[in-house]
């Protein structure tokens, strides 16, 4: 497993915790955007957008360059991989839990089918 520093993961998950920042990242996945373009769908000031962008920059998720008076942002997806790897560690845990749930539901369905069968076809349930 790739070793990612805790501070970087904290910053990535903090940045992703906000729906506005997630939407900004989705827009940047289609190509670079100016700060004004990122702010526009949210009807926020450039100062407010800049605060979100700084959070994304601290997480290493975007890179901002200045072209004249325009600040242009570009997605840097590598830190997302660190978050993915961290979450993937727990995939086995959830897969085991979901497999158990599936088995229990199948058992419940099987028992329900026995209970709804006509009396002549019902199999007696074993007593516990």
> How much is the pLDDT for 23?
97
Query: What value does the mean pLDDT take over residues 72-100?
Result: 86
**Contact indicator for 15, 59 with CB cutoff of 8 Å:** yes
Domain 1-115 has CATH 3.40.50.460: no
> How much is the pLDDT for 41?
94
Query: What value does the mean pLDDT take over residues 118-127?
Result: 61
> How much is the pLDDT for 29?
96
Query: What value does the mean pLDDT take over residues 33-55?
Result: 93
pLDDT at 128 over 60: no
Distance CA(76)–CA(28), nearest Å, equals 9
Query: What value does the mean pLDDT take over residues 64-86?
Result: 92
Distance CA(12)–CA(17), nearest Å, equals 9
Lowest mean pLDDT among 53-57, 93-97, 115-119: 115-119
**Contact indicator for 10, 61 with CB cutoff of 8 Å:** no
pLDDT at 4 over 60: no
């Amino acid at each position: 497993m790739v070793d990612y520093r805790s501070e970087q993961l904290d910053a990535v998950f903090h940045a992703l915790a906000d729906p506005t920042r997630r939407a900004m990242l989705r827009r940047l996945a289609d190509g670079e955007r100016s700060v004004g373009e990122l702010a526009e769908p949210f009807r926020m000031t450039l100062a407010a957008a800049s605060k979100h962008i700084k959070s994304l920059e601290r997480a290493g998720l975007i890179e901002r360059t200045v072209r004249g008076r325009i600040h242009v942002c570009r997605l840097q997806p590598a830190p997302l991989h660190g978050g993915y790897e961290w979450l993937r560690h727990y995939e086995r845990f959830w897969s085991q839990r979901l497999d158990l749930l599936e088995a229990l539901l199948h058992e419940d369905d099987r028992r329900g089918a026995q209970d709804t069968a006509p009396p002549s076809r019902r199999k007696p349930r074993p007593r516990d």
